[in-house]
Structure 1
Amino acid sequence: MLRTLGRVAALAAAVSLAAPAAAAPSALKPCRVDGIPNELLCGSLPRPLDPARPDGVKIDVHYLVVPALARNKQPDAVLILAGGPGQSAIGVAPRVLQRLSRLNNRRELVFIDQRGTGKSAPLECLDDSRPANTEQLDTAAQMRRLDACRATLEKLPYGRDGGLRFFTTTIAMQDMDAVREQLGVPQWNLVGGSYGTRAALEYLRQFPTRVRRTVIDGVAPPDMVLPASFSPDTQAALDKLITANTATYPQLRDDWQKLLASLPRAVTVAQPLTGEPVHINVDRELLLRAVRGPLYQPALAAALPAALHAAAAEGRFDGLFGLTNAFSSNKGMKLATGMHFSVVCAEDYPRLADATDAPGADFGRLDAELYTRVCKTWPRGDVPAAFYTLPPAPSPVLVLSGGADPVTPPRHGERVARALAQGHAERVQHVVVAESGHGVMAVACLRDVMFRFVDAKTDAAALPQDASCATRIPRPTAFQPVQRGATP
């Protein structure tokens, strides 16, 4: 507690002592962000909605700067690229700030709300700001909400006349570089997670000389075809979970198949936030979506075997949907749904028909069918062919993957690492944390690995890094409910 209070006081003082000297005097103003107790610095930059029409509709791209604590700060700031697509970088700042505290000692941290998210011309649907609930898993209702959302977004000043086409990753990274220029930062150190890795790779492709170091965690490369890869990757994570827990739950695979075979069925569960009974018609699609969320986080996935057994053997679904809500109710998980589909429909959907990923045995074409229905009517932007390429890395890149990740497992990170390392193997390192889920930067010792990588004075000293502290971490043991009357 004392260390935390001391850091808050020092950071508050640093706002007035270490403001970016190269930024225009009017570019940054003191501001506050929910979840961060001290005053920081905020700015915004007007950008053309359509880069080909610089005199046309403008949007404001908003960003947050966390000043370096030390007076002798380094000029290369750290740019955090949020996931999704659809997360607000400023919105996730309270969650990741402590993880980057060592980097923040001598480097500014910059969080830019990518166009379509947060305060930067947000493409949010009505449900985006509401607490997640079990009913939102219903596909038919979801489609109705998305149709209504698209119609509403197309009435916005930046959504009219096909404006939703200008929220691609390629255009957004041009915004990021414009912010770099406004702040006077000579080079970024990029830190991207999930979709933020795709953004980082695209920034690296367009502006290779403007990047000093890159950390990509949970790699979602541009050639991934998200709706196709979701199925086999989630299937592999579920199969791994079942296999890992057969000693504690020897009937788990049978429970899972029994549960699938019992659908559709009407169930009643307690709403996790209110305790009120909710009546749900559980079909196969809803069950598969309910299972996917907890797989992202091993701590939640450890309770899945007990929840699946309770549902299959006793017809009790409260545990399963409680886990789903625990995952999706996290504030940092909120997505700007309109921005999400503007990106995926432009960049992934056109390649869906030619995707080579074989569907998972249970998950099938669940996601491919959903995105096909949405993207048929969603405005789609133009994506340059070069977007799907991965040129050799011009500077050191640290690639991180979780072996139990249901959406961006190591197979994607390995492919990207090979492409980036062409001709310069010493510039790329791929670290796999075998029993971690989606995003491994939260693993405590990896924070030190990241710090040493970014802080290394030369490229030769940046890699390789010793990450054995993380790779030995075991899978959390399966949760076992306490039986009534059992001896403690």
Structure 2
Amino acid sequence: MSKHRYWFSACMALTALLFVAHHFYTRAGASELSTSPQAYKFLTTPCWFDADWTAEIRCGELHTPSASGAFHLPVVILKDETATRRKDPIVYLQGGPGAGARLHSDGIKSWLNWMRYAALGRDIILIDTRGTGRSSPALVCAEYNRSNQQMLREHASLAEELASGFDVTRTCFDAAVARNPALDYRHFSTRQSASDIRALMQLLDYPEWNILGVSYGTRLALEISYQESLQQQPTKLKAMVLDSIYPAGFGGVQTWPQVLDEAMHKFFSGCAAQPECINALGDSNRSPLELFMGALDSLRESPIELTIKRWDGEAPVSFLLNDHRFLSAAFAATYTPRDWLKIATAIKGVEEHNREALKPLIEPYVNQSMSEDFNSLTFTAVDCSDNPVMNEMDYLALVNQYSLLQNYTRDQWRYQLCHHLVAEAPLQSYQPYVPTLILAGELDPVTPLEWAQAVHSKWKNTQLHISQNTAHSVLSSEACLLQSLVHFYDQPAATFERCMEEDR
């Protein structure tokens, strides 16, 4: 999930201008499955990327009804070519909200490698949902990007960044709707995307189909399952795997004080138990917590200017590292325990004013924040469409309860854009009615294990697998577990048994 880039500060919302379609590909000969202006239709198109053309790949666009924005959503189907190919494909749902499916040359190469390695024996269906990747109309705002990049070079307090981000983002949404009514934030909800994907699968006409959702993709999967349960005819949805579950009613500003507090405490205790991490801190007389808070105090008074290399080949960027930007980068690194050493090294780097020691933590953070594969405006639109705004007094009570970093969480409620983009009917979470496997990482800082345990205890049709010493996105860390999913999809009602590493 990439939501920390918005909640934490305005500068982190620079996470990406949408990858606006600078492509124009021919639609000559495209097959139109419906001509009604109120209906969905799927067009088969030439693929727009370079790839391994020994692989069988089908490309197209899903056109949504005009009443909900008339979006064009790119779709890529990677065909399984093994002799044991099953007829029930897997729809892969990305995290975010706001993350595209990476339907470009580098992304498709990665997907093909992933597909062959996972060996799930099924076609993989990928889609850029509304406001992500190559989808159009595009939710973009040049002023939003300029403002955030300028802010990164200035020593502004968190409140100043949040206030500036609120004003700029609100103006961008208002201007977007004035330019094109389809860009109304309510057209970017989870409900809308669920309807889109259900329509796509009806048009593709597979006999059955499955879902693999990660992080926010699990919320979208649950809404798809709920909508399928309301239809009159029997559903073709067969089974779901939900990795790092993020259901409606969880997450958002209302849980931010707790999520941030618990994520950092997991790092502090985990680092204290690892000799390598303690050695990187270089001070055995003070705890990781004390050293981290000292680094924040130091950066609040004396920010450090860095020149950060761009991974996309663009010119390096200037980045002024202050206290709240350091906290945000550290929180991002808690997603993966193998990155904890980077946090420890950076804490020591702050103390020594060593810029090179800071870069292993800051360089990935800045580059991921500027990635074209993520759209922060779409994140905001979906999150506000899905979630009600929590009462301020209740929020401040949470801030006081999780008080370690209260100076960095107190102003979040005031500057959330959902005061302006109001949820008319907040999304509800319903238990899945098809067999569902929930995967949870014991150390997950952003979709905590407790969320998975809470819903699993109430949902009868689910199995829960907990991965030890793993954080967010379990399948990206456990290859053996990924390769075990073929058995779940083959027999989703059976008790799931993951492979053991020594068995492979």
Q: Distance in 1 between matches of 2:294 and 2:43?
A: 60
CA RMSD in angstroms comes to: 3.6
Structure 1 stretch displaced more, 227-236 or 442-451: 227-236
Matched with 2:291 is 255
2:354 aligned residue (303, 310, 316): 316
| Aligned partner of residue 123 in structure 1, secondary structure | coil
Q: What is the correspondence of 1:341-420 to structure 2 with a 5 Å cutoff?
A: 341-351=380-390, 353=392, 360-364=402-406, 366=408, 369-370=411-412, 372-376=414-418, 378-383=420-425, 387-391=427-431, 393-420=432-459
| Aligned partner of residue 272 in structure 2, secondary structure | coil
Matched with 1:482 is none
Matched with 1:231 is 257
Matched with 1:189 is 210
How far off its partner does 1:278 sit?
4.2
Matched with 2:59 is 42
Give, as a single letter, the amino acid of the residue that structure 2 aligns with 1:428. Answer: T
Give, as a single letter, the amino acid of the residue that structure 2 aligns with 1:259. Answer: A
Q: Distance in 1 between matches of 2:148 and 2:111?
A: 21
Q: Distance in 2 between matches of 1:172 and 1:305?
A: 40
* Distance of aligned partners of 1:71 and 1:263 in 2 relative to their CA distance in 1, 3 Å threshold: closer
Matched with 2:483 is 448
Matched with 1:339 is 378
* Distance of aligned partners of 1:409 and 1:224 in 2 relative to their CA distance in 1, 3 Å threshold: same
Give, as a single letter, the amino acid of the residue that structure 2 aligns with 1:363. Answer: L
Query: Could you tell me whether the CA contact under 8 Å between 1:76 and 1:187 is conserved in 2?
Result: yes
Matched with 1:33 is 49
How far off its partner does 1:357 sit?
5.6
Q: What is the correspondence of 1:173-322 to structure 2 with a 5 Å cutoff?
A: 173-208=194-229, 209-246=235-272, 248=275, 249=278, 250=284, 251=286, 252-273=288-309, 278=318, 280=320, 282-283=322-323, 285-311=324-350, 313-316=351-354, 318-320=356-358, 322=360
Query: Could you tell me whether the CA contact under 8 Å between 1:85 and 1:339 is conserved in 2?
Result: yes
Matched with 1:54 is none
1:101 aligned residue (116, 136, 143): 116
User: Are 2:77 and 1:65 equivalent residues in the alignment?
Assistant: yes
TM-score by length of 2: 0.74
* Distance of aligned partners of 1:260 and 1:102 in 2 relative to their CA distance in 1, 3 Å threshold: closer
Give, as a single letter, the amino acid of the residue that structure 2 aligns with 1:296. Answer: Y
Give, as a single letter, the amino acid of the residue that structure 2 aligns with 1:221. Answer: P
* Distance of aligned partners of 1:397 and 1:269 in 2 relative to their CA distance in 1, 3 Å threshold: same
User: Are 2:139 and 1:123 equivalent residues in the alignment?
Assistant: yes
* Distance of aligned partners of 1:215 and 1:388 in 2 relative to their CA distance in 1, 3 Å threshold: same
How far off its partner does 1:233 sit?
2.3
How far off its partner does 1:128 sit?
6.8
Give, as a single letter, the amino acid of the residue that structure 2 aligns with 1:33. Answer: F
TM-score by length of 1: 0.77
| Aligned partner of residue 349 in structure 2, secondary structure | helix
Using CA pairs under 8 Å that are at least 6 residues apart, name the structure with larger relative contact order, 1 or 2.
2
Give, as a single letter, the amino acid of the residue that structure 1 aligns with 2:43. Answer: A
Matched with 1:154 is 177
| Aligned partner of residue 65 in structure 1, secondary structure | strand
How far off its partner does 1:368 sit?
7.1
Query: Could you tell me whether the CA contact under 8 Å between 2:480 and 2:498 is conserved in 1?
Result: no
Query: Could you tell me whether the CA contact under 8 Å between 2:244 and 2:473 is conserved in 1?
Result: yes
* Distance of aligned partners of 1:125 and 1:230 in 2 relative to their CA distance in 1, 3 Å threshold: farther
Q: Distance in 2 between matches of 1:81 and 1:129?
A: 30
* Distance of aligned partners of 1:418 and 1:315 in 2 relative to their CA distance in 1, 3 Å threshold: same
Q: Distance in 1 between matches of 2:51 and 2:175?
A: 30
Query: Could you tell me whether the CA contact under 8 Å between 2:98 and 2:131 is conserved in 1?
Result: yes
Structure 1 stretch displaced more, 242-251 or 22-31: 22-31
How far off its partner does 1:104 sit?
6.1
| Aligned partner of residue 389 in structure 2, secondary structure | helix
2:493 aligned residue (460, 469, 479): 460
User: Are 2:128 and 1:113 equivalent residues in the alignment?
Assistant: yes
Q: Distance in 2 between matches of 1:104 and 1:96?
A: 12
The superposition leaves residues 374-396 of structure 1 with CA deviations (integer Å, 9 ceiling, x where unpaired) of 42564335336xx42323x3222
The superposition leaves residues 99-150 of structure 1 with CA deviations (integer Å, 9 ceiling, x where unpaired) of 3336666421111111121222332344679999992896525445424532
- Structure 2 gaps of 5+ residues are 1-30, 35-40, 230-234, 279-283
How far off its partner does 1:412 sit?
1.0
How many residue pairs get matched? 430
Structure 1 stretch displaced more, 427-436 or 166-175: 427-436
How far off its partner does 1:190 sit?
0.6
Give, as a single letter, the amino acid of the residue that structure 1 aligns with 2:47. Answer: C
Q: Distance in 1 between matches of 2:149 and 2:367?
A: 5
The superposition leaves residues 71-116 of structure 1 with CA deviations (integer Å, 9 ceiling, x where unpaired) of 6643311001111110112446554443333666642111111112
2:462 aligned residue (424, 428, 431): 428
